[in-house]
Amino acid sequence: MKKVSLKIKLTLLYTVFILIVVGTVLGILFSLSGREMLASTKLSLERRVEECLEEIEMKDGELEIDSDFYSVENGVYLSMYDSTGYFLYGKIPRGFDKQPDFSDGEVRQIKDAAGESEWYVYDLFFRPGKDMEIYVRGVISVTEAEESFRTILRSAFILLPLLAAATAFVGYRFTKRTLRPVKDITDTVCKIRTDADLSRRIENIDDIKEVREVKEGQHRENRDEIYILAKTFNGMLDELETVFKREKQFTSDVSHELRTPVSVMLAQCDRILKDETLKPEQKVQIELIKQKAKNMSDLIAQLLFLSRADQGRQQINRENINLSELTEMVVGEQQFLAESKGCASRIVCRIEPEIWAEVDETLYIRMMMNLLSNALRYGRNRDIEVSLSIHNDSEIIGKVKDHGVGIANEDLSHIWERFYRADKSRTEGNHCGLGLSMVKWIAEAHGGSVEVVSEEGVGSEFIFHLSKAM
Ligand code: ADP
């Protein structure tokens, strides 16, 4: 039952419940009415026979009988016999072929010869005149009464499933309508997660509340639990959005405030380093300060980039650029930088020539630099492969593959988050977990995407997709 939706579960629950209740009630009713039906058949037979005695009179030594005697009322057939059992008058039902002996004032159940039909027979002895003795016999078919009872029973068994189907249908529609806001809430949460867009809200929230007219011009709202849940959820999103906006504003403000002092520090370091009177160890100390200030300046630049991106102020200047040449140039620079730092990795290129695309040159360089510097940094001095190719004449696929430390499965989905570092112990330089956030933003800002395939201890491959013309 795990995968069955709540709507179906609820519908099943009360449909089964209704079936059990109605079934039980009908069962009780029918078992009682079966007996009731037989008792009332007997009673109407007795009544009819007793009443008919009033329709028999003696006139001038002759029997005079009312014409009603012939009519079949409530299924009761009346007949009259003399004291020897000779048939005098009346009607005998078809199929009632036995003529049992007379038994005064007793209802008996008689079966026909074939044993197919059953009858109730009721005889009364009557003396309409001095020398006249007769028997009046009433006969009623039990089989017919039972048959009509069975017809009612059959109809009930046809109606019961129909009733259950109608209950299930109406119940399902009602539950679906009631639970629709819950689905809206779930959809909103999913969209917020995929788009990281906190400005979304549960829409049509006012449809949930039932507005009931009480008096003319006045109305009362029936705010049910789901309406309150949706409203609370929207309230919570308002607060979260405000907090996130404040946090982003704070990062932006701090970065701006720090930019000038760090620039001053760098400029001062350069000035001091030009001083020829400095002792070698003082020079080393100043160089160290300068290096740290440079890292800080890079970090501030990254923060400013991301906060501009968040606020939609990061400009994208697209130009038709030869991506093949640009990629080779960035690779060459990174290779040179790596060698100067003593890194033994070689960057092997497989770049299709003459791939042109409309991209922002600066942003593309920044994206490639981040991917390559990561590959060199985490590549354990092994060779790195860079490829760029075009598919279906429209899609550009770039890959940066290393054979380094790789990324653990539990870190894979987080590496695109800001300040996330899989290896928290390595904090030197300006590597503080912002690089891949920028890569993702740049790829998406160009209408593309980026993904990673990685295995811990084996290596990682970052793949980006861009379209040729934006
Ligand atoms: P950082 O500046 O710390 O490298 P990034 O955003 O560029 O930040 O990367 C986030 C994290 O992803 C890194 O801390 C690292 O753990 C992991 N990572 C990125 N690239 C690679 C790679 N090529 N191989 C292994 N891990 C990587």
**Torsion sign over Cα 43, 46, 48, 51:** negative
Q: Is the CB of 402 under 6 A from ligand 1?
A: yes
Q: Is the CB of 459 under 6 A from ligand 1?
A: no
pTM beyond cutoff 0.75: no
Residue nearest to atom 16 of ligand 1 (CA): 422
The pLDDT score that the predictor gives to residue 207 is: 63
User: What count of residues does the chain have?
Assistant: 470
Q: With bands split at pLDDT 50, 70 and 90, how would you rate the model's confidence at 270?
A: very high
Amino acid letter, 128: P
Cα(365) to ligand 1 centroid in Å equals 18
Q: Is the CB of 142 under 6 A from ligand 1?
A: no
Helix (H) or strand (E) holding 295: helix 280-310
The pLDDT score that the predictor gives to residue 117 is: 82
Is residue 426 scored above 60 in pLDDT?
no
**Measured between alpha carbons, how far is 186 from 209 in angstroms, rounded to an integer?**
19
Instruction: Name the range with the highest mean pLDDT among 184-198, 217-231, 245-259.
Output: 245-259
Specify whether the CB–CB gap between 55 and 66 falls below 8 A.
yes
Q: Is the CB of 460 under 6 A from ligand 1?
A: yes
Max Cα distance, the chain (Å): 167
Specify whether the CB–CB gap between 124 and 136 falls below 8 A.
yes
Is residue 217 scored above 60 in pLDDT?
no
Other CB atoms within 10 Å distance of the CB of residue 353: 9
DSSP three-state, residue 357: strand
Q: Is the CB of 422 under 6 A from ligand 1?
A: yes
Cα(359) to ligand 1 centroid in Å equals 24
Is residue 429 scored above 70 in pLDDT?
no
Which two three-digit tokens encode residue 291? Answer: 């290096």
Query: For the packed helices 435-445 and 280-310, what is the interaxial angle rounded to 10 degrees?
Result: 40
109-127: pLDDT as tens digits: 888 777 778 889 999 998 8
Helix (H) or strand (E) holding 142: helix 142-195
Q: Which residues contact 277 (CB under 8 A, 6 or more apart)?
A: none
Specify whether the CB–CB gap between 455 and 409 falls below 8 A.
no
Q: With bands split at pLDDT 50, 70 and 90, how would you rate the model's confidence at 155?
A: confident
Q: Averaged over 410-433, what is the pLDDT?
A: 79
User: Could you please report the per-residue DSSP string of 164-212?
Assistant: HHHHHHHHHHHHHHHHHHHHHHHHHHHHHHHH--TT---TTGGGTSEEE
Cα(357) to ligand 1 centroid in Å equals 27
Which of 400, 407, 454 has the most ligand 1 atoms within 8 A of CB, as the residue to mutate?
A: 407
Residue listed under structure tokens 């867009």: 197
Is residue 317 scored above 90 in pLDDT?
yes
33-92: pLDDT as tens digits: 778 888 888 899 999 989 888 888 887 778 788 777 888 888 899 998 988 888 888 888
8-state DSSP, 100: P
Which among 156, 149, 125 has a CA at the least distance from the CA of 50? 125
The pLDDT score that the predictor gives to residue 209 is: 56
Beta pairing class for 347-351 and 384-391: parallel
Q: Is the CB of 405 under 6 A from ligand 1?
A: yes
Which of 370, 378, 425 has the most ligand 1 atoms within 8 A of CB, as the residue to mutate?
A: 378
Q: Is the CB of 401 under 6 A from ligand 1?
A: no
Amino acid letter, 107: V
Is residue 2 scored above 70 in pLDDT?
no
346-381: pLDDT as tens digits: 999 999 999 999 999 999 999 999 999 999 999 999
Is residue 205 scored above 90 in pLDDT?
no
Q: Is the CB of 378 under 6 A from ligand 1?
A: yes
The pLDDT score that the predictor gives to residue 96 is: 81
Residue nearest to atom 19 of ligand 1 (CA): 374
Q: Is the CB of 80 under 6 A from ligand 1?
A: no
Amino acid letter, 26: L
DSSP three-state, residue 360: strand
Is residue 26 scored above 90 in pLDDT?
no
Q: Is the CB of 407 under 6 A from ligand 1?
A: yes
Q: Which residues contact 386 (CB under 8 A, 6 or more apart)?
A: 327, 331, 347, 348, 349, 350, 351, 372, 398, 399, 400, 401
Q: Averaged over 237-262, what is the pLDDT?
A: 90
Residue nearest to atom 21 of ligand 1 (CA): 374
